[in-house]
Structure 1
Amino acid sequence: MAHAMPDLFKIDVKGKSITHARSEMVARGKVVATDEPPERGGTDLFATPLETMLSSFLGCTNVIANYVAGLLKMELRGLEFEVCGHFDTRGVFGKADIGTPFPVIELTVFVLTDAEDAQIEQLKTITGEKCPVSVLLRRAGCEIKENWVRK
């Protein structure tokens, strides 16, 4: 379903520190919280900020892939995702000057469809070019290794 979107709009989020490891943010009246595991002084109640970032990548990939499938007139019965970010902590801890904290992100998308391989490849390419989170990660220097598999 197509939705009319303005060319430019603001996305506002407010947040506060609950503890040194836990934060709560509010976006459109919805609470988003992050935390750290106990070994980093957190309570492990919520995903970490980095897990949340990778989750945002999957959520954005879902929205844009479904949009692109509509443009391609491609039937999707569903999508399933796996992501693994390779986190280089040397920059955070001052051990090295690194270009990106995530040199490699592995993305696997299981596509529930009867579409041909060529159409799945087209879906993958266009989604990567249009997904705002994907674009940000790539421009930040992340190598995104993608594997889109028919399921």
Structure 2
Amino acid sequence: MAIRQKSQVTVRMRGTASSHSHVEVAVRDLTAEIDEPVERGGTNRGFSPTETAYAALIGCTNTIGHKCAEALGVDIGQLGFEMEVDFDRRGVLLQQEVAVPFTAIRLQVTADGPASAEELDRVAAETAKYCAISKLFEGAGTKLDIRWRRN
């Protein structure tokens, strides 16, 4: 018998800060470190908060992309990612409030499987419908340009 997953859940996380820039975050039985680079007063023991947000888009695109490909019966193989983010840093520098700090994100997704360009377009379209992190960025006003191609 298949387990029916809940459609609405509450996620609980904990964080413990050891300095002004370093925090250890726990969820489930896992921990991650978020920190700033040394040149910004951190200890460089983890991604910065903004880098963590960008990385989440890559992770979500990978996971949802593979789920969509499987549902469509498309073999995308393994995915590779190249990302560029246009980041208006005036807000984090406390110079000015910025409504859309991440003005644009360009993400190139490369599939090494046998899927055709048309099949990848279908997977990309389905992934765009369901990736929670891309929805988060779009809802915040970020211009997303996510392109899929064969390796």
Query: Secondary structure of the equivalent of 1:127?
Result: helix
Q: Give the TM-score of the pair, scaled to structure 2.
A: 0.92
* Structure 1 residue runs without a partner (length 5+): none
Deviations 1:21-46, CA, capped at 9 Å, x for gaps: 10111000211111111111011121
Question: What is the match of residue 144 of structure 2?
Answer: 144
Aligned-pair CA distance for 1:5: 2.3
Within 5 Å, give how 1:1-151 maps onto structure 2.
Answer: 4-151=4-151
Work out whether residues 76 and 120 of structure 2, in 8 Å CA contact, stay in contact via their aligned partners in 1: no
Aligned-pair CA distance for 1:92: 2.9
Letter of the structure 2 residue corresponding to residue 87 of structure 1? F
Of 30-39 and 87-96, more deviation after overlay is shown by 87-96
* Structure 2 residue runs without a partner (length 5+): none
Letter of the structure 1 residue corresponding to residue 12 of structure 2? D
Relative to structure 1, is the Cα distance of residues 112 and 4 closer, same or farther in structure 2, using a 3 angstrom cutoff? farther
Question: 2: CA distance between counterparts of 1:29 and 1:44?
Answer: 23
Q: Structure 1 stretches (4+) deviating beyond 4 angstroms?
A: none
Query: Secondary structure of the equivalent of 1:10?
Result: coil
Deviations 1:107-148, CA, capped at 9 Å, x for gaps: 010011222211111111110120001111111101111221
Of 3-12 and 138-147, more deviation after overlay is shown by 3-12
Q: How many pairs align?
A: 150
Aligned-pair identity (%): 30
